[in-house]
Amino acid sequence: MVDSALHQRPHPGAPGAWYYSAMDSIDEVLTRGVTDVVVRENLERRLRAGEKLRVKLGIDPTGSQLHIGRAVPLLKLRQFQRLGHTICLLIGDFTGQIGDASDKSAARRMLSADEVQSNMVRYREQIGRILDLDAVEFSHNSVWLSKLVFKDVVLLASNFTVAQMLERENFSLRYAEGKPIGLHEFFYPLMQGYDSVALRTDLEIGGTDQLFNLMAGRPIQRMHGQPPQDIMTLNMIWGLDGRKMSTSDGNTILIEEPPIDMYGKIMSMSDQHLVPYFEVATEVPMDEVAEISRELAAGCNPINIKKKLAYEVTRLYHGDAGAQAGQRIFEELHQAKGDLSDDDWPEVSVTGAWPRKASALFVEAGLAASNGEARRIIQQGGLEIEGAKVVDAGASVIPVSGMRLRRGKNKLARLRVV
């Protein structure tokens, strides 16, 4: 058994929190990127006793592609998988049709069965970039939820009060603002809790916005004669526009993105997100993350740290070769600056570091009046990005701060992504 009385130091991603500076594997799985553990003492006791746990994560297929925000709990599962625990990965093909409003200010649109099935097609391939699929127990909650009768639902609902439901932050805000709350939205945590009964879960993990849903499994398991699962909530990461990364908001970095796009999007991020990303979106050792935090606090130039982050995230999904290619292409793009100073290039703000057509980017930057005009100028060889002529108006371009656009000789723009 590893001694848990280890030296502690300030946690770089959570002011006021602490983490072990000489973590063993159990310390790290319990602390890295973790906000809350319920019940911490029970979970740590079982882990250190060598028990093999059933660790559950549910993913609703609300879109066809996973982003690195959704990969945060998958990386936590990889830690548990390496410790020999059973990974119970639940695809919410039934709950996905209802929709979870945990992080929403309005009810989520209910998906059709066909939409859910279509979204699920590539999930295993994407998840396989992080987890050993041969050691994952996949389930679909339509198998048991579709068989419940109305009496079963009433019994599940008897574990909760309306007051408890309205205590959820997003429900209470919507109620106070007079926004509608669908009765079906109250059923979502009941279904998620019953999933834990079906899977006989020992531990369920999820984002901080999922705490209510995760906790719902405990009384429902007790009702069915099972020990209540422990709960672990994980820090969530911000998307490219400063809001929580979300498929529906389009502010994502997809895990299937080409290396140059993934690397470039990381380079476009705000510096304030560097340390949290290192902690939850990479496998850089935590002592290195703490050192990076100290360097940033001391006022170092963050560009090299941001390059390391972009490399580590890209390497996680594309290997060293992909990360090297992404970095090389990015540096070649941004070293072709020409002989004009920054002052010669008027700064123009564009919204969001997500892909758009080259023609649309020039319109947004004010260098063309319309997409049609941009296409005509491109055909004449008159538009450039970072010194390279644009030859395809429909080419996908991800804007990054500092990117230089030119129309002819005298119309210039230096982008600032906001």
Prediction pTM value: 0.73
Structural domains in the chain? 33-234 (3.40.50.620), 259-335 (1.10.240.10), 342-417 (3.10.290.10)
| pLDDT value at 84 more than 70 | yes
Q: According to the 3-state scheme, what is the secondary structure of 87-132?
A: EEEEECCCHHHHCCCCCCCCCCCCCCHHHHHHHHCCHHHHHCCCCC
Report the range of poorest mean pLDDT among 9-13, 186-190, 240-244, 256-260.
Answer: 9-13
Task: Supply the pLDDT for residue 5.
Answer: 32
The better pLDDT of the pair 75, 167 is held by 75
| pLDDT value at 30 more than 50 | yes
| pLDDT value at 248 more than 90 | no
Q: 334-354: per-residue pLDDT in tens?
A: 655 445 566 667 888 998 888
The better pLDDT of the pair 88, 185 is held by 88
Query: Encoding tokens for residue 297?
Result: 């606090």
Task: Supply the pLDDT for residue 247.
Answer: 75
Place of tokens 């004669």: 225
Task: Supply the pLDDT for residue 279.
Answer: 95
Task: Supply the pLDDT for residue 56.
Answer: 98
What does each C-alpha distance from 78 to 39, 53, 130, 231, 344 come to in angstroms?
21, 14, 7, 17, 49
Q: What is the mean pLDDT of residues 216-233?
A: 96
Report the range of poorest mean pLDDT among 122-136, 187-201, 237-251.
Answer: 237-251
Q: Give the C-alpha separation, 290 to 287, whole Å.
A: 5
| pLDDT value at 41 more than 80 | yes
Which is nearest to 158 in space by CA: 226, 210, 224, 110?
Answer: 224
Q: Are 414 and 347 in contact (CB under 8 A)?
A: yes
Q: Give the C-alpha separation, 418 to 268, whole Å.
A: 9
What does each C-alpha distance from 222 to 43, 199, 219, 326 come to in angstroms?
17, 14, 5, 50
ω before 34 within 30° of 0 (cis)?
no
Q: Which residues contact 91 (CB under 8 A, 6 or more apart)?
A: 58, 59, 61, 120, 123, 138, 139, 140, 141
Q: What mean pLDDT value characterizes the chain?
A: 85
Q: Are 142 and 94 in contact (CB under 8 A)?
A: yes
